Structure 1
Amino acid sequence: EQLVVGSSRRPVGSWEKDYDSFVLPLLEDKQPCYILYRLDSQNAQGYEWIFIAWSPDHSPVRQKMLYAATRATLKKEFGGGHIKDEVFGTVQDDVSLNGYKKYLISQSSPAPLTAAEEELRQIKINEVQTDVGVDTKHQTLQGVAFPIAKEAIQALEKLKNKKLNYQIDMKNEIIILANTLHTEIKDLPKRIPKDAARYHFFLYKHAHEGDYLESIVFIYSMPGYTCSIRERMLYSSCKSPLLEIVERQLWMQIIRKIEIDNGDELTADFLYEEVHPKQHAHKQSFAKPKGPAGKRGIRRLIRGPAETETPSD
């Protein structure tokens, strides 16, 4: 039993025009299969693909189990970073072009909320609308909740392809956007000021275990005592309220929060280990327990007969 290529074809038109004529003829009523369909779009690793898992309802149970068990292996061997979307279907409508587009709409739509979650969402909306939004000075978060400039909020929402720096305007007491320069990992240390504190939101693009990932990392840089006491206090106090707004109100998922005092620490290896820490297995060693105190008395030195001193003449 092994996976073999059933057929392959070269593209004729765009991926949308070719889709149904290429995919649907491969589907059999009682035979599961995998289909890898290439899109026209590309990422850092090359062309992006749709992984289609076809498992019709009337196929034998053993066939369904075999295909379900080998699904993860095939994706790993092919390279998860190449796969943009994964579609599962039991009828043709699930994996047709129309079905794929419905899948994309369902993925982009927010998950339905429970009654409690909907109530909490309304409370948060009301809080923002009643003079506690991110452009006012009346937020009630822990720490010093300086307002965030509208330009900074808009830039956060466009973080998908950029790395952003934020700084505190200490005169006007507001968090403002410093820059949105495109930054690779090798250039990241240069973006860390040596004489001023900063908040950085970095889109960390990398591969992990065969998958292409884009993870948002928050970096708080504070270059020690080259900053004034007031600057150190303000940046320290404003950090938690800023993250509260970013995570709770803007719904951004921050994978890792890092504090540094020197940009030279930000190497590719350092970031990878911070985002994907190694799991160390510690073997516990057991020391021989000591006897109860005060039970044996003072230790005595005992000599054998051969060790006794000979009396001198």
Structure 2
Amino acid sequence: MSATSGIGVSQDLSAHFSTAVESKDIRFIKVSIDNELLVHDLSVPVQGTLAEDLAKLQDPDIIGDDVPAYILVRLDEPPTQWLVIDYVPEGTKIRSKMLYAASRGSLTRSLGSSVFTDSIFATSKEDLTAEAYAAHRRHVTAPQPLSTREQEIANARAAEREAGAHSYRPKVNPVGHGVGLKWTDQVEDAIKALGQGEDSGLALLNIDVPTETLTLVSVTSASVEDLSSALPTSEPSYAFFAWSHSHSSSPRRDIIFIYSCPSTSPIKHRMLYSTSAYPIYMVAKTLLPPDTVAARRIETSDPKEITEDYLKIELKLTSDNSVPNASEALDGGEKKPFAKPKGPNRRR
């Protein structure tokens, strides 16, 4: 069962993939989501090189122009390694986009993450050609030039090493995600899809602490009544909640950033989540329509207190007062005081 979307891998798909791995005569396996399961759709045998076989994906009987799917691709060298293509055409419905974004991790984990050594996100069949794949490989293998900001960081770190500086400095992620956190593609896709929707919905995130990576836990169509039970009570988490409501002068849909950190969480986790919360909020603002993002962030140590009445109070909602959004107020706005984690007791 998937930890992100509730979508699991069917036994039939597992069997087809295991057979393909052993036989080495299957080039493509098409996977679809059907009845809340990842299922085997069809298989295409190896007939030439990968570049030659990619032409088969232009066949509408194999890949439709507007039907999302995952495509598992056996590589030429070594043939034990696979590429996963997340094919989600531009015209795909928002719910399907969110479902495919949230289920990709479950697919690769269930079939064996170690065999999948590359991935491609495709939005049209033009992204599935031999030329597009060659361009992708050139991009992946090309040395990445440092940006001005990255060069400044490299120079600063070199200067610190030369000077023997050992003082603490906050981590900086050159790509802009803040406090050194890496973001998975699933996180960005889920946040973007949330911004494009029309109904209430919840994207739940957490940090993989050993790798300091922001990951997607789940995407659900949670209502405000479901919110308190949807947030973990034993570990920190972040959530972006899209709330369709009528608590303003006119019905509207606001996306609210929630940071939950139970007081029983380990001190290291609490400090990492605390320092990462604001940068995550700021990056998410660049991924979402500006007039939908609530400027006031919600922070709590008890997820059970996140009720409709609580949100109305925290967001200062009245019948004639709309939620201030990120383009109408100072970034971050006022927020409930949130106690910083205490450090360990000093030994005497």
TM-score bracket relative to the smaller structure: 0.3 to 0.5
